[in-house]
Amino acid sequence: MSKPLVVSIPHNLGKAEAMRRLQGGMGSLKSQFGDKVASINEAWAGDRMDFRVGAMGQNVSGHLDVMEDQVRVELQLPWILAVVAEKAKSFIQKQGTLLLEKK
């Protein structure tokens, strides 16, 4: 198994507002990338969200932790996707920032 991919997304929203925006925004990812994403499952426990995404015949699982000044995303990529980990990291940072910026 490959090592986890860790992405930090800085923000200055505070923990409560960042969580509100993320909780409301995960559904928009499904509608935005519905042709590429087969499923998105999420479960919140406090300030942590565990998730599983099915895309392109692969499953990606991980979690994100919401903090006062950043969101830390950690996910396990299947070996076939691990080779594009840096591109995935950039994509996650971009999409996470967009979710946090939306009011």
Residue 99 lies in a domain: no
Q: Encode pLDDT of 7-47 as tens digits.
A: 999 999 999 999 988 886 766 766 776 666 777 888 999 99
* Contacts of 89 by beta carbon, 8 Å cutoff, 6+ apart: 5, 7
Examine the pLDDT at 1 and tell me if it is beyond 60.
no
How many domains would you assign to the chain?
Answer: 1
Q: Which CATH number covers residue 20?
A: 3.30.200
Q: What is the pTM of this model?
A: 0.76
Residue 95 lies in a domain: no
Of 1-5, 49-53, 54-58, 93-97, the range with the highest mean pLDDT is 49-53
Residue 14 lies in a domain: yes
- Measure the CA angle with vertex 21, ends 87 and 102; round to 5°: 75
Residue 54 confidence (pLDDT): 82
Which residue range is the domain that position 46 belongs to?
5-85
Alpha-carbon span 46 to 13, nearest angstrom: 17
